[in-house]
Amino acid sequence: MHAIAAVPLFLIHETNLNATPKGLVHAEWKDHNDGYVGLPSGPGLGVEVDEQELERLSKVPSEWQWPVYGRFKDGSSADY
């Protein structure tokens, strides 16, 4: 967020909050109205990783798939 705030005329930053397992990352910043967020107060990425949860998740086999929100008739992505 700090890097984005330092770039003049930065247009948009997207994220997929559903791609991160619940409880793994705790963000200091909060969403505000109209999609805006405030900057984290300290240095770094503004998130704290729960290392115990990360270790637990590393032992659970899973196959991650790219989120698909929609497809056109030719199979191309319709909404990403």
pLDDT-derived band at 16 (thresholds 50, 70, 90) equals low
Find the radius of gyration of the CA atoms of the chain. Answer: 16
Q: Average pLDDT of 65-74?
A: 76
Is 71 a member of any domain?
no
Is 39 a member of any domain?
yes
Is 49 a member of any domain?
yes
Is 69 a member of any domain?
no
Residues 38 and 2: beta-carbon distance below 8 Å: no
CA triple 19-41-57, angle to 5 deg: 30
Helices of type H across 1-80: 2-6, 51-58
The total number of structural domains in the chain stands at 1
52 lies in which domain range? 1-6+28-62
pLDDT at residue 54, as a whole number: 92
pTM for the model:
0.53
